[in-house]
């Protein structure tokens, strides 16, 4: 039985099929200087940079390619085949000499996640805003995938939107002209940002056997702006994690 519904898969496939290769067209495709860069600075004091880093929910691979400059090797995985195709095209175009690869992976498929761990060994994990928009039944398995991939020696950086993001998104959607084109595409494809409650994220991480080494509040900058020119920055919370 599939934990991830066909509708959910189809929504993400159609979103990425309809997205061009232009940087920043996806609303969350922020420059790494605003995302994976500062996130790496929070993770690296706790992590072994000679280990592979796995970017879960990599999308078009913008953050994965940056992570490959900070770790010995980076592997990006995404549920969407179309997203992986975007990521591979961008990596081929960049051709910057870093070790980076991309694969389709359903994080709720424990056997596939285990096979990736068997291939890579204990790895570091980077996961930006995946649990909050996953379907409720999938969320515990996504957290379990993080734990499986880091094993006993890897470390994880997980950042998720908080409930305060809903107010920011509502403000963006309720402007005089409605949501901007990038946010409208999110709604049109029935994607659900900030769908998880704040208490759910740390509970799921703990139930997956993960312990918090460090945590804090932050924002996730988006690539769209409000009518007054203010960039949409969504409130979020980050965790650096290890196995219990």
Residue 26: predicted pLDDT: 96
Which alpha helices (H) appear in the chain, and where do they start and end?
Answer: 6-17, 36-43, 62-67, 81-94, 110-120, 139-150, 164-173, 181-188, 200-207
> How much is the average pLDDT of 187-205?
92
Q: What percent of the chain has pLDDT over 70?
A: 100
Rounded CA separation 47/32 (Å) = 19
Rounded CA separation 213/69 (Å) = 24
Rounded CA separation 101/158 (Å) = 20
Residue 194: predicted pLDDT: 81
Residue 193: predicted pLDDT: 83
pLDDT above 80 for 22:
yes
Residue 13: predicted pLDDT: 97
**Structure confidence by residue, pLDDT tens digits, 140-179:** 999 999 999 999 999 999 999 999 999 999 999 987 888 9
**Structure confidence by residue, pLDDT tens digits, 46-79:** 999 999 999 999 999 999 999 999 999 999 999 9
pTM over 0.95: yes
Question: Which is more confident, 95 or 239?
Answer: 239
**Structure confidence by residue, pLDDT tens digits, 208-230:** 999 999 999 999 999 999 888 99
Residue 1: predicted pLDDT: 57
> How much is the average pLDDT of 90-97?
82
**Structure confidence by residue, pLDDT tens digits, 101-111:** 999 999 999 99
Residue 192: predicted pLDDT: 86
Mean pLDDT of the chain: 95
Question: Which is more confident, 95 or 43?
Answer: 43
Q: Which residues contact 114 (CB under 8 A, 6 or more apart)?
A: 148
């Amino acid at each position: 039985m599939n934990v991830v519904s066909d509708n959910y898969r189809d929504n993400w496939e159609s979103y990425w099929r309809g997205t061009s290769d232009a940087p920043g067209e996806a609303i969350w495709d922020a420059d790494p200087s605003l995302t994976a860069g500062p996130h790496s600075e929070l993770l690296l004091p706790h992590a072994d940079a000679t280990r592979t880093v796995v970017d879960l929910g990599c999308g078009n691979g913008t953050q994965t390619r940056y992570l490959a400059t900070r770790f010995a090797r980076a592997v990006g995985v995404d549920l969407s085949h179309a997203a992986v195709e975007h990521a591979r095209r961008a990596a081929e175009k960049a051709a910057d000499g870093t070790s980076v690869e991309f694969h389709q992976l359903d994080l709720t498929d424990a056997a596939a996640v285990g096979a990736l761990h068997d291939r890579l060994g204990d790895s570091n994990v980077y996961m930006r805003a995946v649990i909050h928009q996953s379907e409720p039944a999938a969320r515990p398995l996504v957290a379990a995938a993080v734990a499986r991939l880091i094993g006993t020696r890897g470390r994880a950086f997980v950042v998720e939107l908080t409930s305060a993001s809903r107010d920011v998104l509502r403000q963006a959607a309720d402007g005089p002209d409605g949501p901007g084109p990038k946010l409208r595409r999110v709604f049109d494809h029935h994607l659900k940002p900030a769908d998880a409650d704040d208490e759910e994220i740390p509970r799921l991480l703990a139930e997956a056997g993960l312990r918090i080494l460090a945590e804090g509040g932050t924002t996730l900058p988006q690539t769209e702006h409000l009518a007054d020119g203010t960039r949409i920055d969504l409130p979020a919370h980050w965790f650096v994690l290890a196995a219990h």
